[in-house]
Copies of this chain bind each other. A is one copy, B any other.
Amino acid sequence: MGEFELIRRHFQHALRPAGVALGNGDDCALLAPTAGQQLAVSTDMLVEGRHFLPTVPPEALGHKALAVNLSDLAAMGAQPLAFTLALALPRADDAWLKAFARGLLALADAHGCALVGGDTTAGPLNLCLTVFGQVPPGQALRRDAAQDGDDLYVSGTLGDARLALEAFRGEWAAAVALDGPVWTRVRHRLERPTPRVALGQALRGVAHACADVSDGLLGDLGHILAASRLGAEVWVDTLLASDAVSPAVRALPLAQALTCVLAGGDDYELVFSAPPAARAAVTRAAQRSGTPVTRIGRFTGRAPARAHLCHADGARFELPAGLALSGFDHFA
């Protein structure tokens, strides 16, 4: 199977939204965003053994490769429009490609996001997607827009993906012991994350700053804090007791639970700030988008760029001895 036959067989995408003037097959695709809108652009590279396990089902991998990119659009409040896919493959395995493309294009269809171009080559397995969305000027949810006194929110649940990863790694007894529907659910959270695209758009004009939680809550919140030059209180026991933490994560030994929730990675939730006056609007945005949202702290002008782990009354939350938490850093 040649490169062009491979593309023709697996990656022809019938979806053609109004904002796509020319899809794949030429030197470039041509995008025509709605007049006056800005184009949000993000790119993510996924490497086998680092971003996914060699054993992941290819359909789930196709889903996840696009999901992590859509999550970046969600974090800007952008509406998905199109994406490109560059793929290095050790070999052209027809069954693998078919399943991969099925997972990829099903999620693309669900979000009206057209595959408009790409590249295919031989090489160690590597997926690089670049995604395009549109957003009205001035309405993008930027990281530098948090304000002193804003509430701190997170969407969905945190930590399940890390729990599943630790189960695959085999080092946490409580993770390895997972089975039945609980295991199915946490594994699903690792392998088939749900990008919060509808919530991101619903938060335009409501939230101030927003980021997606891909490297762990503290790491990604840290980006907002650094960009906005603010600190934040994170009410750790409020968070642990809330619907933002699943019973499976809550049942872990405390150090493991905190690792999952505060520095888990692969959550693809949104962490955002909104003023106290917008609490009802945040609730409506959550309902309209069908996405749970939990208030877990607040932004402060003290100690810029640092997250303070504390109780809801402001008292310091003491981490278990020896526990080091950080944003995930690929070269640390």
**Nearest Cβ distance between residue A190 and chain B, in whole angstroms?**
18
Interface string of A67-85 (1 = CB under 8 A from B): 0000011011010001011
Number of interface residues of A (CB under 8 A): 71
What are the residues of chain B within 8 A of A22 when measuring CB–CB? 140, 142
> This chain: how many copies in the complex?
2
Residues of chain B lying within 8 A (CB to CB) of residue A30 = 38-41, 76, 135, 140
The CA-CA distance from A6 to B332 in the complex, in Å, is 11
Known pairs A126-B123, A331-B92; A41 contacts B29 (CB<8 A)? yes
The answer, among B39, B45, B49, for a CB contact under 8 Å with A31, is B39
Tell me which of A104-112, A113-121, A153-161 binds B: A113-121
User: In this assembly, does A43 line the interface, its C-beta being within 8 Å of a C-beta of chain B?
Assistant: yes
Q: A49 contacts which chain B residues (CB < 8 A)?
A: 123
CB <8 Å contact, A28 and B126 = no
Docked CA distance A50–B89 (Å): 12
On whether the beta carbons of B75 and A6 are closer than 8 Å, the reply is no
Q: List 20 A-B contacts (CB under 8 A).
A: A21-B38, A22-B140, A26-B142, A26-B143, A26-B144, A26-B211, A27-B210, A28-B41, A30-B38, A41-B82, A41-B130, A42-B84, A43-B119, A45-B121, A48-B123, A92-B331, A120-B330, A122-B330, A122-B331, A126-B128
